Amino acid sequence: MLNLFQHPIICFNNHMKAKYHKYILNFKQPSGTSRGVLKTKETWFIILEENDKKGIGECGILRGLSADDRPDYEEKLKWTCDNIHLGLETLYSENTEFPSIQFGLEMAFKSLESNNPFKLFPSKFTKGNDAININGLIWMGDERFMKSQIQEKIESGFGCIKMKIGAIDFQTELDLLKSIRNEFSPDDIELRVDANGAFMANEALEKLKRLSELGLHSIEQPIKQGQIHEMAQLCESTPLPIALDEELIGVFNVTNKAKLIQTINPQFIILKPSFIGGWKGSQEWIDLANTNNVGWWVTSALESNVGLNAIAQWTYTLNNDMAQGLGTGSLFTNNFDSPLQVKSGTLHYENNLNWNFNI
């Protein structure tokens, strides 16, 4: 296979070699959200080498959304590799404002210490004896395109469908959801919607009332992040459970995390490790959610299969029976072949399949 990575930047210390690469993932088809249409996705890899072993970590950044979408991102990544001798704990702390680098580091060090660089959390899942329940993701587009996606997900056996809303006419979106409900009850198919902050604060409650009539499970981020008072009011009076997503981005310390949860008091929070400091940052949110009686689930953030693999294996260890948002591995034309396979609405680890991550 051709090496997909060009001109890696390599840094050394006495014991370990660290390098990083930029890689552009190409969507099979443009994917619509209320913030625009995605055609490519930039990601970065940290590769550690020590004593003939390799550790692989992915720094999954999403331009325009990630807290660490900053001009000095690559500079910080280079500094991190230059100072790899400082170790994970110190480097994690030094990258507080770069949550995707924090996660890439966690992943790379965990990978390095594992017997297999891609088996980070050995379990029934990685043995192929169990699977993770996931939602089927419906991207925005015209009515015909969205209907075709819905039909495909239902025929593929998904018991939970998540539909992105907020980009086309609201009534059209309601009609699409009604068409699902006319055929499938809430007991048959769980429906979630994700507004990505598309609703205006002064109209959100009325829209939530109309959506609630369709027996939906929840709505993600109905209004833009940062409107703490308005979101708190919504969560208090909503007839439809609200899940915070973008609201968690850029909240770096535990004190501020606790304040956010206690002020807004949402029904759910959604954890995207690449956006919130990896496993450690996510666990802080989980602990706060559990303490405050807030539900949660985990979602990937358009990482390659490398990052998705790390998120999925960790998620399995959390024993959360809700449908997780981990079905993004097939979105790209140039993703890395991996043992991760989606079957009947569940994510499996097929040990007879190999990775093609050659560097």
81 touches 22 (CB < 8 A): no
Report the mean per-residue pLDDT for the chain.
92
**pTM > 0.85:** yes
| Count of C-beta atoms within a 10 Å radius of residue 114 | 15
- Cα(336)–Cα(116) distance, rounded to whole angstroms? 17
- How does pLDDT run across 198-252, given as a tens digit for each residue? 999 999 999 999 999 999 999 999 999 999 999 999 999 999 999 999 999 999 9
- Cα(211)–Cα(196) distance, rounded to whole angstroms? 15
- Cα(322)–Cα(87) distance, rounded to whole angstroms? 35
pLDDT at 34: 55
- How does pLDDT run across 51-72, given as a tens digit for each residue? 999 999 999 999 988 999 999 9
- Which domains are delineated in the chain? 9-113 (3.30.390.10), 132-349 (3.20.20.120)
pLDDT interval class at 4 (50, 70, 90) = very low
Average pLDDT over residues 118-139: 96
101 touches 59 (CB < 8 A): yes
**C-alpha 118, offset from chain centre:** 18
Does position 126 have pLDDT exceeding 50, yes or no?
yes
Q: Which two structure tokens, joined as six digits, stand for 177?
A: 């959801």
Does position 73 have pLDDT exceeding 80, yes or no?
yes
Weakest-pLDDT range from 66-80, 159-173, 186-200, 334-348? 159-173
Size (the chain), residues: 359
pLDDT interval class at 359 (50, 70, 90) = low
The catalytic site residues sit at 164, 272
